[in-house]
A and B are shown apart, each in its own frame.
Chain A
Amino acid sequence: MVDFLITTVGLPSWLAWTAAAGLAAFLILNLIAGGALVFIWAERKIAARIQDRLGPTRTGGRFGWLQSLADGIKLLAKEDLMPDGADPLLFRIAPYVSFCASFCAFIALPFAFDFVGLRLNVAVFFVIAVLGLEVFGVILAGYASASKWSLFGAMREAAQVVSYEVPLGMCVVVPVMLAGSMDLVTIGEKQAGWFTNWFIFHDPFTFVIFWVYVTCAVASVNRAPFDLAEAESELVAGFHTEYSGLRWSFFFMAEYGSMFLVSVLAAVLFLGGWNGPIPLATLAGLSEGTGDTAGYFVRLLGMANLLGKATLGVLIMMWIRWTLPRLRIDQVMTTCLKYCTPIAAAMFAGAMLWQLALPGGLVAGLSPPTAGVREGWLQEPADAPAAAVVEPAADVAAAGGSR
């Protein structure tokens, strides 16, 4: 895109970079905010249907489409309260810390082939590292609120997230091992073709570890049945007891953003990423490389695929939330340490042995040859940004000096 702005539109390089970065940030921000708007409405409707109610029916027509918007306006208009005993700086900054962590992880997520904010060759690792930072906002909120409910919630959240990072990391390593790369774009590309190429169907071990990943992902984004940090029957509202108005909604947006994030990650790692179950585009003779318009169309199709899978993941999380009762803290720890971690370790070893014995996958006959897969680990992309932007000799010296 930077190349396009420089060569076709004729912008100077610094302006082109600013525009490209601004556009990417704008799109991601709106994806999170718009997604939260839709998902909050969906959550209300799903919760209502599961509990044999109707849910919102009046705001904006028959199905209450505009309920989230009305909620948002209400939150904007609410008074921003802060307890007397609170630490003002930490109390104010905590929601933004949570939200920024959620936002930062989206930077490295691909939404279709090369539709990615920043293509990192260690994208998986980056996303996992940043996802773990979201808990910091929760701890800050719990501590700074000067309320026992909040502190209990924050401590529970800290213990839970730190524990569940271990099995989550093990689950994520398996697709990395199968793809031979930590680049999410490469991992998605390796699963091109029919749905039998998806890593979840690679062998029995990956099928099991996908469900371990689902469990750990639900726990790490702090959703029911693992929502001990905001257990409303014991802790009022947990870490956000003292929050109101816009700051509270930032926590909420971070939560929905993280839900969407782990769903996109699950889709890319296990469910074929932007490749549909049936490779329609490939059957029609189109691919990302066939030409500008066709390639763009294929990518848009892929993006629709990926967003569909991720939305399905979020809906399943809601289904789980309104179906299962909340676990106790000892049950949460038991699930993590006695079940998830050993299962993940065993499945990791199994997937490794399977990969050594039968590298082709479960249904090797259906797999098309995976030629043209670029190895993102050692090789820089052909249109490396440094080479594209730096034209004058002065810039070369500056770039060389500051690197």
Chain B
Amino acid sequence: MMPFAAVVVCSLPAAVVVAAINWHTLLFFLFAALACGFAVAVAAADNVVRMALYLIMSLGATAGLFFLAGAEFVGAMQLMIYVGGTLVLLVFGVMLTAQSPFVSLRSSTGDKVLAGVAAVALLAVLLQAAFSIESWRRPASGVVEQPAATPLGMALVGLRVDEPPSGAPDDAVRSGYLLPFEIVSVHLLVVLVGAAYLARAKRRKTPRPIEVVASVEPPASVAEHAAIGREPGRRGSSVLTGGGA
């Protein structure tokens, strides 16, 4: 966290100078710094709810980046799906897994090293992909004249515009990325159900005494207390006192 904070503090005066020229750039750097900083904080925190807070901040800053880029629909989607989804995840995570208040998830050094290696590898792949694009241009303006979707986006909905059908018999196989996408979604669902099952299985080992207690009739004194202040003919009192006071 410290080197990151130092970078932010040092770049602030420069950013203010930039602001005199262009708000867009300043806000971009602000949102980008927020997204990256809170992403680091997610990894560094050891409390589930704090992690969720940082994750939501990071995802919200990403939504801000989308709004800044003029992609309002994607930004609102980001808020709806990711930020709202994290919320549900948090509720279920806490409800299903918490055994005591303020659970602390301290990971071992080995885990940290493994996670670091995986993260650096992924970052390397992403950076390589990002820098392999020759020039970052604005997409052609005018939604109506040209299709705005990229070949990848078209392939996701099932149209391979990058590989036009040649009439070969294996055309049926090349049906875009829709099927893999669906398989990944179902896979995620299975993982979610499995996680919920695992989290529940631990609790069922102990029998629940509450169920036994609930089936016992309330003692007579309790029933009398409950009947005080109620009219004898009302249904509520008759249920509590076992049929007529």
Contacts and interface: CB of A to CB of B under 8 A. Distances in A.
A403 B138 contact: yes
Nearest to A12: B20
Contact of A398 (B19, B22, B94, B101): B22
Nearest to A87: B102
A402 B15 CA distance: 14
A129 B138 CA distance: 28
B70 interface: yes
Given A14-B20, A87-B102, A133 B144 contact: no
Contacts of A155: 91, 95
Contacts of B23: 14, 17-18
Contact of A90 (B49, B80, B88): B49
B80 A125 contact: yes
B87 A14 contact: no
A123 to B, nearest CB: 9
Given A87-B102, A89-B50, A158 B136 contact: no
Given A90-B49, A158-B87, A401-B136, A143 B25 contact: no
Is chain A's interface secondary structure helix, strand, loop, or mixed overall?
helix
Interface residues of A, number: 39
A398 B72 contact: no
A121 interface: yes
Interface in A161-182: 162
Interface stretch (A134-142, A257-265, A275-283): A134-142
B53 A93 contact: yes
A128 B53 CA distance: 20
Given A158-B91, A402-B28, A132 B84 contact: yes
B124 interface: no
B21 A395 contact: yes
A399 B80 contact: no
B72 A121 contact: yes
Contact of B72 (A122, A133, A144): A122
B245 interface: no
Nearest to A15: B20
Contacts of B79: 126, 129-130, 133
Nearest to A377: B143
B21 A398 contact: yes
Interface in B41-71: 47, 49-50, 53, 56, 69-70
Interface string B1-40: 0000000000000000001111111001000000000000
Contacts of B102: 87, 146
A60 to B, nearest CB: 40
B25 A398 contact: yes
A85 interface: yes
Given A125-B76, A401-B136, A143 B49 contact: yes
Given A121-B72, A125-B73, A133 B84 contact: yes
Contacts of A14: 19-23
B90 interface: yes
Given A121-B72, A129-B76, A395 B22 contact: yes
A93 B52 CA distance: 13
B91 A120 contact: no
A400 interface: yes
Interface string B75-116: 111011001100110110011000001100000000000000
A263 to B, nearest CB: 21
Interface in B132-183: 136-138, 143-144
B76 A122 contact: yes
A378 interface: yes
B49 A378 contact: no
B82 to A, nearest CB: 10
B91 to A, nearest CB: 5
Interface of A: 12, 14, 17-18, 85, 87, 89-90, 93, 120-122, 125-126, 128-130, 132-133, 135-136, 139-140, 143-144, 146, 155, 158-159, 162, 378, 394-395, 398-403
Given A87-B47, A122-B76, A403-B24, 11 more contacts: A17-B23, A18-B23, A120-B72, A121-B73, A129-B76, A132-B87, A140-B53, A155-B91, A395-B22, A400-B137, A402-B28
10 contacts: A87-B49, A89-B50, A126-B79, A129-B84, A132-B84, A133-B79, A133-B83, A136-B87, A162-B88, A398-B24
CB-based closest 4 A-B pairs: A129-B80, A129-B79, A126-B76, A125-B76
